[in-house]
Structure 1
Amino acid sequence: MRLGIVTALFAEARSLGLKKPRPGQTHALGEHLLVRLSGMGPERAALAARQLLDDGAQALVSFGTAAALQPELRPGTLCLPHEVLWQEQRWAADESLRSRLLAKLPTQRRWQVCGRPLLTVGEACVEPQGKEALGRSHGAAALDMESGAVAAVATEAQRPWLAVRAILDPLQRRLPKAALGGVDAFGRLQPRVFLGLLSRRPQDLPVLMVLGRDLEAASTSLRRAAECLHAGLDA
C-alpha cells in the first residue's frame, strides 16, 4: 500500500527523512511513501491530501506535532488517535492501519502512545486556559490544525487514513508570540520578525529554548514512527 503523507512543517518533513522538502511538490520516499509539505492549517492540508490521492496514494496519513490538551501528555508522547474531531464531526481512523503501525513500533521503557481523540482547529491555541477548555469540552487529548482536513478528504474519497502526531508543547505552556509569529506557514524562521517579537518580550527566551528541546523529543518520536511507515503497513 502506498501511503500519502501530509506534513505541515519543514521540521516534520525532515523527521520522515526528507532532506530538502519543497512546498507544492510530491516527493517519493522509497516504494511505500509519497510526501507533500502542506504548510499549517486545514485548507492547506486538504489541498495537499487531494493532490497526493491524484498522485497515486492509496491511503492518507496526517503526520507531525500536536499540542497537549491533557496534563499527563508530555513532549515526545506519540498520538495515534482512534478518531479526530473536526467541524463538529467525529472522523474514525482506519483501525487496520493503526494496529499495523502500533505493532511495528519499538517496545521500550518510557515509550508512550496515546489513542485518545485528537481535536483539529483552524487557528493555533496558545494559552493554557484555552487549551484546557478545549480538552474538557471536546474530551480530546491533543490538538492540531491539519488532521481533520486530511480525514475529511480521505473519507470523501473512500480511502483509509491515519493520524500520527507527537506532542510538542505540554498543556500548561503558553506559546510565545515569537514561536508562531516569527515563522512562516512552513515553520521557517523569519529572522527579522522573530527578533522584533522577542525584543518586545525578552522574558520569552527561556521558554523558546525549552521549546527547542521539546521539539527534539517530538522529532525523535516522529522519526521512530517514520521508520515503521517506510517499512510499509501492508497486511
Structure 2
Amino acid sequence: MSCGIVVALPEELSTLTRRKLVLGESHAIGDGIILIYSGAGPANAEKAANRLVQQGAKRLISWGCAGALAPVLRPGDLVLPERVRGNDQQDLTTAPAWRERVANLLASQQAVSAGALLESNGIVDQSAEKRTLFEQTGAAALDMESAAIGRVAASTELPFLVVRAVADPAAMNLPQAVVQALDANGQVKLGRLLAFLMTHPWELGGLVRLGIHFRAAQTSLKTAARQINEITQI
C-alpha cells in the first residue's frame, strides 16, 4: 500500500528530498511513498491530502514543524500526537498501533512526545497566547495543517499519523520580522523581511535564535527521515 506525506513548507520538504518541488507538486521518494508540497494552512493541506488519496495513497502522514505549547518541549523534540484537536473541538485520532511503533522506533535516537496537537488557523507568535492555549487545552503543540489532513483521512477511512518537530518553544515570542514577511503559503518573502529589518533592526537577534531553533527541528526531521521506509509501514 502506498503512503502519502503532506509537507507544507520548502524547508520541511528538504528533510525528505533534495528535489525542488513547485506548490502542489507530488513526488515519489521510495517504493510506495509519495510526498506532496502543499503550502501552509488547512485549505492547502486538505487539497494536497485529497490529491494524494486520488493518486492511490492508503495512509497519510502530516510531516513538518510545530510550535510548542507545553513548556517542557524543546526545539528539535519530536511530537507524535495520539490525537489532533480541530477548531471544531473534535478530536481526530491517529492510528494507535502505527503511532506507537513509530514512536518506539524514533525514541531510541531523539526525544519523542505524545499527547495532543492543536489546530491553529494562523501563526501563534506570542508566548502569552501559547500559555493560554496550553492552559485551556493541555495540547503539547500546535500547527495549521495536521487537523485538515486528519479530516481527509477520517472521511476516506484511512490511517493517519503526525510527525512534527518543535521549532519555536512555548516561551518564545516569534520575531515580528518573520510574521510580517510570510506570504499566504507560509514562505518568507525576502524583500518584506529586509524592509522590516531596516526599520526594526533590534529584531535581528530574535531571527538568529529562531534560525537556530528551526535548524534543530530540521535536524530531527532529517534523522527521522533516515528511517522513512520503516515509518511509512503499518
Name the TM-score class by shorter chain. over 0.9
Q: TM-score, normalised by structure 2?
A: 0.94
Note the C-alpha offset of 1:183. 3.2
CA deviation vs aligned residue, 1:167-200 (integer Å, no higher than 9, x gap): 0001111111221321334444322111111223
CA deviation vs aligned residue, 1:4-34 (integer Å, no higher than 9, x gap): 1111100000011243122111111111311
Number of equivalent positions: 233
- C-alpha distance in 2 between matches for 1:90 and 1:18: 34
Instruction: Say yes or no: does 1:160 pair with 2:159.
Output: yes
- C-alpha distance in 2 between matches for 1:7 and 1:127: 24
Provide the secondary structure at the position in 1 that maps to 2:36.
Answer: strand
Contact 1:64/1:164 (<8 A) preserved: yes
Instruction: After superposing the two structures, state which structure 1 stretch, 187-196 or 157-166, moved more.
Output: 187-196
- C-alpha distance in 2 between matches for 1:34 and 1:181: 32
Contact 1:11/1:187 (<8 A) preserved: no
Taking every aligned residue pair, what percent have the same amino acid on both sides? 37
Residue matched to 2:97: 96
Contact 2:24/2:39 (<8 A) preserved: no
Matches of residues 113-192 of structure 1 in structure 2 within 5 Å?
Answer: 113-192=112-191
Note the C-alpha offset of 1:155. 0.3
Residue matched to 1:50: 50
Gaps of 5+ in 2: none
- C-alpha distance in 2 between matches for 1:189 and 1:234: 34
Note the C-alpha offset of 1:119. 0.2
- C-alpha distance in 2 between matches for 1:16 and 1:187: 18
**What is the one-letter code of the residue matched to 2:176?**
K
Provide the secondary structure at the position in 1 that maps to 2:171.
Answer: coil
Instruction: Say yes or no: does 1:84 pair with 2:56.
Output: no
Instruction: After superposing the two structures, state which structure 1 stretch, 150-159 or 178-187, moved more.
Output: 178-187
Note the C-alpha offset of 1:95. 1.1
Q: TM-score, normalised by structure 1?
A: 0.94
Instruction: Flag as ranges the 4+ runs of structure 1 deviating above 6 A.
Output: none
Note the C-alpha offset of 1:96. 2.0
Contact 1:10/1:186 (<8 A) preserved: no
Note the C-alpha offset of 1:232. 5.0
**What is the one-letter code of the residue matched to 1:80?**
L
Instruction: After superposing the two structures, state which structure 1 stretch, 173-182 or 113-122, moved more.
Output: 173-182
Judging changes above 3 Å, is the alpha-carbon distance between structure 1 residues 18 and 34 closer, same or farther for their aligned structure 2 residues?
A: farther
Contact 1:37/1:48 (<8 A) preserved: yes
Judging changes above 3 Å, is the alpha-carbon distance between structure 1 residues 182 and 173 closer, same or farther for their aligned structure 2 residues?
A: same
Note the C-alpha offset of 1:106. 5.8
Note the C-alpha offset of 1:215. 1.0
Instruction: After superposing the two structures, state which structure 1 stretch, 213-222 or 194-203, moved more.
Output: 194-203
Contact 2:63/2:164 (<8 A) preserved: yes
Residue matched to 1:74: 74
**What is the one-letter code of the residue matched to 1:154?**
A
Give the RMSD, CA atoms, in angstroms: 1.5
